[in-house]
Amino acid sequence: MTRILGLVACVLIVACGGGSTPSVASPTVARSVAPTVAATPDARGCAPVPSGIAVKTASIEMAKGGIVQLALRPDKAPATVATFISKANSGFYNGLTFHRVEADFVVQGGDPQGDGRGGGNQATELNDLPFCKGSLGIARGNDIKISNDSQFFICTGTCRFLDRMYTNFGQVTSGMDVVLGIRVGDKIKSIRID
């Protein structure tokens, strides 16, 4: 009897599409149910950094003025953080623009072509960090396993529908007002790693 019930459950899951992973292009506004996160979130819905976790700090200085401070999370996305740090330290981001700005969703930049089509590939590192206001993520195309290696986005609203769909590798710690003032074409003067 148990085997029959198990078989029926498997057939229902396959028939209803429950066994497949959805494919979503570079962050879209499509909504999905957000998974629960173990850590108690702050007022923005962000998970606090647990004590004892080593974070890296990045500072994005905008050409028009203003600095955005970020806490990077190598404990959750080690390869993504390493790539971001390497590119920042090499001056890769200096002079690049934010090519995408969507109110209450994201600002996206770091594309060497400036149009959302540039950059290389790296493996996606899905984790349990929630995409809340100020979260730092990496863009990707339709294949959930492959992310861009240079284009990053910062959530300007609650983006929990991106949870476990994109690599979340950090959080704005100060300068959210600067993020909210970013417009299409605004240039990054530099990104410094501390």
**What is residue 52's predicted lDDT score, i.e. its pLDDT?**
79
Q: Classify residue 26 by its DSSP letter.
A: S
Give CA–CA dist 65/27, Å, rounded.
27
**What is residue 7's predicted lDDT score, i.e. its pLDDT?**
36
Q: Are the C-beta atoms of residues 136 and 152 closer than 8 Å to each other?
A: yes
| 126 alpha-carbon distance from chain centroid | 10
Q: Given pLDDT bands bounded at 50, 70 and 90, which one contains residue 50?
A: confident
Pairing assessment for the beta strands 121-123 and 67-72 based on DSSP bridges: unpaired
The beta strand positions in 43-179, using DSSP E, are 56-62, 67-72, 98-102, 106-109, 121-123, 135-140, 146-155, 168-174
Two structure tokens written together for 132: 């809340």
Examine the pLDDT at 31 and tell me if it is beyond 50: no
pLDDT (mean) for 178-183: 98
Q: Given pLDDT bands bounded at 50, 70 and 90, which one contains residue 44?
A: low
**What is residue 51's predicted lDDT score, i.e. its pLDDT?**
77
Pairing assessment for the beta strands 135-140 and 106-109 based on DSSP bridges: unpaired
Q: 44 in helix, strand or coil?
A: coil
Prediction pTM value: 0.79
pLDDT (mean) for 111-123: 97
Examine the pLDDT at 25 and tell me if it is beyond 80: no
Bridge partner residues of 68 (DSSP): 60
pLDDT (mean) for 115-143: 97
Two structure tokens written together for 54: 């080593």
**What is residue 67's predicted lDDT score, i.e. its pLDDT?**
98
- Per 3-state DSSP, the chain is made up of helix, strand and coil in percentages (nearest 5) of 20, 30, 55
Give CA–CA dist 185/115, Å, rounded.
10
Examine the pLDDT at 129 and tell me if it is beyond 90: yes
**What is residue 32's predicted lDDT score, i.e. its pLDDT?**
36
Average pLDDT, the chain: 83
Torsion angles phi and psi, residue 172, rounded to 5: -65, 130
Q: Are the C-beta atoms of residues 69 and 144 closer than 8 Å to each other?
A: no
- Residue 3 or 113, more confident: 113
